[in-house]
Every structure is written in structure tokens, then in C-alpha cells.
């Protein structure tokens, strides 16, 4: 491979802004966002109903807004865990192959930019849209909360809310990465959308069922050795954590429920000095989710690299 001259970032901002603008005006994204907004408002509204009935003294009312579920509706957080991947997939599934299908690829790449700029620009553009959507959603929820609960969130709640925003952003980024990889591999947008949705279904629906099965097969429990049971649970957790949904679930749990002390199994003797039910400070909660956050960012980078490698080797015809 010969040494290249010039910056790989020429044109990056132009591509990113065009991409973001395209999405902001596209009917597809409007539909998905409408869906997200409606479910979010529904979930928060239901949660407020629940909270105002049961509440006594609670230090973290605003966080309860996000995590309280009222049957049959799941909580706001559960909704986001489910819908954010869909938003990301809707943004990314035809990023690269759409360009081939519109036959604009060779025209764009005959301009003085590298392929890197096109791919990275598209990725950044989509991330920009996701960030904007999340921010709107977040402000909306806080607004609703202030309006309906009649009190402002505390500083700590804002901090935790921001951490939650970051976690959601990275989570959506991972799914955007998956969609981008498939959009470079498959030439047909329908195929890449289906492939991404398959992965999404696998992790959302089947992974929680599969991980105990796999763990049971890999580490069978010996009824006479209690340690094997512990081992099995550990293995099962490790397998479950391959799914970004599990990681996101754990992160939201630790951030939005300040009482959470551990994301693994805890033995009674480890709790001997602990004040059960007492909230952790923000910094400790953040320490708790640090590994999960790093894993997600790593996954995002790996996916991006995958898309990059597959795109660099492609023949640009059409």
C-alpha cells in the first residue's frame, strides 16, 4: 500500500452536516422519532400516575420518573432500551449501499476526499442526529416532570441524568455501528436492514433465553458442589454481557437506581458492613458502570473498523 498524501479528514464536516440535514428532513426519521416521542411521553405520564399514588418520602423522584413501570406499560428506560436500536438502525442501514443504489458513490468519491471521510462523515452525521434526538427527549422528560410533579430535579439527579444520556448515546452508537457494517457488506438496503434487525431480535429477545442454556451446557451444575452453581451464574452473566442490551440494562440500573451496589452476584458476608438501601454517591455509581461503558465504546470502535475495512476494499463502480 503506497503512502497517501493529504488529510483523510478533508470533506469530513461537509459530509457529516449533509448527512445530518438529510436525516432531519427525511420522513423515515420523522416517523421513528414520532414513535419514540409518543412512547416516551406515555411511559413518563404513566410513571407519574404511579408515583403520585404511592410516593411517601423519596430523594430521587425524578429518577423514579424514568424507571417506574406501570402495568401494562414498561418504564421509560425499558422503552428506550428497546427503541433506541431501532432509531440507530433506521439511520444507518442504508448509509453506504444507499449511495451505490442512487449511483452517487462514484461521483462523490471522484471529488478530492478519501473514502475515510465519507464513512466517518456519515457515522458522525448519524451520531449527531442521535445526540440531538436524545437531548430533546431528555429535556422533554425533565420538562414534563417539573410540570407534573411540581418540583425541580436536584443537582445529583441532573448528574445522573447526564450519565444516563451518555450511556444511551453510546448504546445507540453501537447499534448504528452494526447497521453501518451491514450497509457496507450488502449491496441491497433491504438485505442490510433485515440482517441488522435479525441481530437486534437475537440480542433483544433470544439472548436472554439463550445465555442460561449456553451456560448450562458449558458449566453444568454439580448438586454436591455449590461453587459450580456460582460458576454457572458467572458464566451466564458473561455470556449475557455479549449483548449490548444487557450492558445498557446494567448501566441504567446502576445510574438510575442509586441503591445499586453491584452488578454481579453479592454474598451475604460481603454486605456485612453495608447499610442496605442507602444510596451510593454519583462517583461510586459511575465507577460501577465504567467497565460496561468501556466495553460499549470498544464495541463501537470495533464495528466502525469493520465497516471501514470492508468499505476500503470495495470496488467503486456506479
Partner 1 sequence: MNTVIETRDLVKHYGRHAAVDGLDLTVEKGEVFGLLGPNGAGKTTTILLLLGLTEPTSGAVRVIGLDPLRNPLEVKRRVGYLPDQIGFYDNLTARENLLYTARLTGLSTAEANTLIGEALDRVRLTHAADRRVGTFSRGMRQRLGLAEVLIKRAEIAILDEPTSGLDPQSTQELLELIVELGREGITIVLSSHLLSMVQTICNRVALFNRGRIGLMGRVADLTSDVLGGTHVVEVEAGDVDLRAALDGAPHITGVTEQRPGFWRVDADADARPEIARRVVAAGGLLRTMSIRHTTLDEVYVRFFEEDKIHAAA
Ligand X SMILES: Nc1ncnc2c1ncn2[C@@H]1O[C@H](COP(=O)(O)OP(=O)(O)OP(=O)(O)O)[C@@H](O)[C@H]1O
Binding residues (CB under 6 A) for ligand X: these are 315, 317
Task: Please tell me the distance from the alpha carbon of residue 113 to that of residue 174, in angstroms, as a whole number.
Answer: 26
Tell me, what DSSP letter sits at residue 70?
B
Instruction: Work out the burial of residue 56: count CB atoms within 10 Å of its CB; fewer than 13 is exposed, 13-18 middle, 19 or more buried.
Output: exposed
Task: Please tell me the distance from the alpha carbon of residue 94 to that of residue 28, in angstroms, as a whole number.
Answer: 12
C-alpha cell, 112: 478530492
Would you count residue 30 as binding partner 1 (CB under 8 A)? no
Residue 71 interacting entry, from ligand X, partner 1, none, C-beta within 5 to 8 Å by type: none
How far, in Å, are 27, 243, 266 from residue 312 at the CA level? 30, 28, 47
Task: Please tell me the distance from the alpha carbon of residue 204 to that of residue 199, in angstroms, as a whole number.
Answer: 8
Residue 135 interacting entry, from partner 1, ligand X, none, C-beta within 5 to 8 Å by type: none
C-alpha cell, 219: 458449566
Smallest separation, CB 315 to ligand X (Å): 5
Closest CB to ligand X among residues 313, 317: 317
Closest CB to partner 1 among residues 10, 310: 10
The single residue among 52, 54, 59, 111 that binds partner 1, judged by CB under 8 A, is 111
The single residue among 52, 54, 104, 262 that binds partner 1, judged by CB under 8 A, is 104
Would you count residue 113 as binding partner 1 (CB under 8 A)? yes
Would you count residue 60 as binding partner 1 (CB under 8 A)? no
Give residue number: closest CB to ligand X. 315
Closest CB to ligand X among residues 4, 317: 317
Task: Give the relative orientation of helices 207-218 and 226-240 as an angle to the nearest 10 degrees.
Answer: 140
The single residue among 155, 209, 273, 315 that binds partner 1, judged by CB under 8 A, is 315
Closest CB to partner 1 among residues 269, 317: 317
Site for partner 1 in 182-211 (CB under 8 A): none
The CB-side HSE value for 90 (13 A sphere, CA atoms) comes to 20
C-alpha cell, 272: 456485612
Closest CB to ligand X among residues 184, 232: 184
Site for partner 1 in 81-100 (CB under 8 A): none
Closest CB to ligand X among residues 187, 237: 187
CB 96 within 8 A of CB 189: no
Buried b (16+ CB within 10 A) or exposed e, 4-20: eeeeeeebbeebbeebb
CB 248 within 8 A of CB 172: no
Residue 72 interacting entry, from partner 1, ligand X, none, C-beta within 5 to 8 Å by type: none
Closest CB to ligand X among residues 71, 315: 315
List residues near partner 1 by CB under 8 A.
2-6, 10-11, 14-15, 18, 22, 25-26, 102-104, 106-114, 315-318
Amino acid at each position: 500500500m503506497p503512502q497517501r498524501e493529504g488529510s483523510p479528514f478533508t470533506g469530513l464536516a461537509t459530509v457529516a452536516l449533509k448527512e445530518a440535514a438529510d436525516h432531519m428532513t427525511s420522513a423515515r426519521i420523522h416517523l421513528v422519532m414520532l414513535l419514540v416521542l409518543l412512547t416516551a411521553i406515555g411511559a413518563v405520564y404513566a410513571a407519574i400516575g404511579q408515583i403520585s399514588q404511592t410516593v411517601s418520602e423519596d430523594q430521587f423522584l425524578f429518577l423514579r420518573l424514568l424507571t417506574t413501570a406501570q402495568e401494562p406499560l414498561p418504564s421509560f428506560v425499558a422503552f428506550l432500551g428497546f427503541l433506541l436500536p431501532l432509531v440507530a438502525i433506521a439511520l444507518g442501514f442504508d448509509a453506504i449501499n444507499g449511495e451505490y443504489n442512487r449511483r452517487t458513490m462514484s461521483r462523490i468519491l471522484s471529488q478530492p476526499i478519501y473514502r475515510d471521510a465519507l464513512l466517518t462523515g456519515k457515522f458522525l452525521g448519524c451520531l449527531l442526529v442521535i445526540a440531538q434526538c436524545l437531548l430533546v427527549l431528555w429535556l422533554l422528560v425533565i420538562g414534563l416532570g417539573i410540570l407534573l410533579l411540581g418540583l425541580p430535579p436536584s443537582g445529583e439527579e441532573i448528574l445522573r441524568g447526564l450519565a444516563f444520556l451518555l450511556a444511551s448515546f453510546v448504546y445507540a452508537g453501537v447499534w448504528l455501528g452494526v447497521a453501518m457494517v451491514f450497509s457496507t457488506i450488502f449491496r441491497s438496503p433491504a438485505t442490510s436492514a433485515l440482517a441488522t434487525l435479525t441481530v437486534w431480535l437475537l440480542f433483544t429477545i433470544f439472548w436472554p433465553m439463550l445465555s442460561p442454556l449456553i451456560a448450562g451446557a458449558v458449566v453444568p451444575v454439580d448438586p454436591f458442589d455449590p461453587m459450580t452453581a456460582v460458576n454457572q451464574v458467572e458464566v451466564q452473566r458473561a455470556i449475557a454481557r455479549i449483548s449490548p442490551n444487557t450492558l445498557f440494562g446494567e448501566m441504567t440500573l446502576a445510574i438510575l437506581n442509586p441503591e445499586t451496589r453491584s452488578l454481579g452476584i453479592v454474598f451475604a458476608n460481603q454486605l456485612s458492613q453495608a447499610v442496605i438501601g442507602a444510596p451510593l454517591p454519583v462517583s461510586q455509581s459511575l465507577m460501577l458502570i465504567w467497565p460496561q461503558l468501556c466495553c460499549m465504546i470498544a464495541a463501537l470502535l470495533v464495528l466502525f473498523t469493520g465497516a471501514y475495512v470492508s468499505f476500503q476494499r470495495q470496488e467503486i463502480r456506479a
